[in-house]
């Protein structure tokens, strides 16, 4: 995300805020559209031309925003991790009670699909197409998410509120559940996200917590 | 899998069983090695040459077994679904009690990693690189697996042994958990599969079942 902005902003110091905001919104639009094309068509089979068409730009216009397909994929993943950080970890991190914090983490992650669809988050898994430096960067950000969940479970355990479960394995299983949801959940509205979220949180929490 | 064999067997009627068995073992070896290369390097970046090197064949030798990269990917997925069918659904399907059947399904799926590593099953997700006909074939096989889990939960529900949970959502969440494990589990032996399996089955079952 910042990379896209950086490319666009090169040599435009003193840019007005309104313009920067517009550029940022346009960049997000491009990332979200590219995520859909990559997911549907596959990273390999997608050309910069396909992306340009999807966002109603010429190929040259698209290169104004981004250096190439690989950078675009990294920008999408970074954008998805930004969303997780700001819209999941940030609000959940403010909750003192670990049970409520875990609930909020799941709730907010699942509700990301409402704003971004499932495509953005599926692409976090497409690690092999990245350069080693980009891959390492995304791995670090994923690890921070895992640590957040693991710390929450450790608190529950220390407070005697968690069943006798391995904190690391359980954290990974919980993350697999919500990450996997991006692969099966259909945003066509037939299965309301609120219902899916309530069902999933209920199942996860009941598996983790001791009886009251 | 059968496709690989078919290519090899073309015009070799009356082949002796020992030879067929050897061919089959060699084909499995190729599929497993190709799965590792695809997962580590990415489908896009992998050449038929990379695969040939990994299985100690010339490129021409490899083409004796398989028509190309796309066919190879489909053969790997089909091979993985064969393993799930024969080594998970078949033994679990023989268990009458739905709780024990669900436990056995999870246990056997997780223990597939012991024989095949995690690469084979990760690749079941690489759907976009397939031809439409191949993709439809793999989707059908995945759906049969989902139906198996869903039917087991429906039985539990009918018997009044399941908590008030949506059968479809819970089945999808359970499958996400075990499929996701292929992405994080490290077969280096530091975390015994038996322990991971016990922890995961305990968490899943407790979330699903009513108290005794």
Chain A residues touching chain B at CB-CB below 8 Å: 39-45, 125, 128-129, 163, 165-166, 169-170, 172-173, 175-177, 179-181, 183-184, 191, 195-196, 199-200, 202-204, 206-208, 211
pLDDT at A16: 53
Quick count: other Cβ atoms within 10 Å of Cβ A184? Answer: 17
CA distance B112 to B196: 13
Residues of chain B found within 8 Å of residue A39, distances taken between Cβ atoms: 128
Looking at chain A, the whole-number percentage of residues with pLDDT higher than 90 is 66
> Shortest Cα distance from A203 to chain B (angstroms)?
5
Average pLDDT value for residue range B143-158: 98
Q: Is the pLDDT of residue A9 over 60?
A: no
pLDDT in tens, A71-89: 999 999 999 999 999 999 9
pLDDT in tens, A52-75: 999 999 999 999 888 889 899 999
Q: Mean pLDDT for chain A?
A: 88
pLDDT at B10: 43
Looking at chain A, the whole-number percentage of residues with pLDDT higher than 70 is 91
Inspect the interface and report whether the beta carbons of B169 and A199 lie closer than 8 Å. yes
pLDDT in tens, B78-120: 999 999 999 999 999 999 999 999 999 999 999 999 888 888 8
pLDDT in tens, B170-196: 999 999 999 999 999 998 888 999 999
Residues of chain B found within 8 Å of residue A175, distances taken between Cβ atoms: 180
CA distance B184 to A176: 9
Residues of chain B found within 8 Å of residue A40, distances taken between Cβ atoms: 128
Q: At a CB cut-off of 8 Å and minimum separation 6, what does B88 contact?
A: B105, B108, B109, B112
Nearest to A176 among B166, B180, B202 (CB): B180
**Three-state DSSP class for residue A137:** helix
pLDDT at B95: 98
Q: Quick one: CA dihedral B57, B63, B64, B65, positive or negative?
A: positive
Instruction: Specify whether the CB–CB gap between A45 and B45 falls below 8 A.
Output: no
CA distance B96 to A194: 35
Inspect the interface and report whether the beta carbons of B41 and A200 lie closer than 8 Å. no
Nearest to A129 among B42, B180, B203 (CB): B42
pLDDT in tens, B116-148: 888 888 888 888 888 899 999 999 999 999 999
In chain A, where the domains are located: 2-208
Q: What is the CATH number of domain B2-208?
A: 1.10.357.10
Inspect the interface and report whether the beta carbons of A125 and B183 lie closer than 8 Å. yes
pLDDT at A41: 87
- Chain A to chain B, count of Cβ pairs less than 8 Å apart? 104
């Amino acid at each position: 995300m910042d990379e896209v902005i950086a490319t666009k902003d090169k040599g435009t110091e003193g840019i007005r805020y309104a313009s920067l905001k517009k550029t940022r919104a346009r960049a997000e639009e491009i990332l979200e559209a590219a995520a859909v094309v990559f997911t549907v068509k596959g990273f390999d089979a997608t050309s910069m031309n396909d992306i340009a068409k999807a966002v109603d730009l010429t190929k040259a216009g698209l290169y104004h925003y981004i250096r190439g397909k690989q950078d675009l994929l990294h920008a999408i993943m970074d954008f998805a991790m930004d969303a997780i950080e700001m819209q999941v970890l940030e609000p959940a991190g403010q909750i003192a009670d670990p049970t409520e914090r875990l609930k909020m983490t799941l709730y907010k992650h699942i509700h990301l699909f409402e704003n971004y669809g499932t495509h953005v988050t599926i692409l976090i898994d497409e690690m092999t197409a990245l350069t080693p430096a980009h891959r390492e960067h995304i791995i670090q950000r994923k690890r921070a998410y895992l640590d957040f969940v693991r710390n929450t479970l450790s608190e529950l355990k220390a407070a005697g509120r968690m069943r006798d479960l391995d904190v690391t394995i359980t954290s990974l299983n919980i993350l697999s559940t919500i990450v996997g949801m991006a692969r099966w959940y259909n945003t066509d509205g037939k299965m309301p996200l609120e219902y899916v979220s309530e069902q999933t949180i209920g199942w996860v929490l009941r598996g983790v917590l001791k009886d009251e």
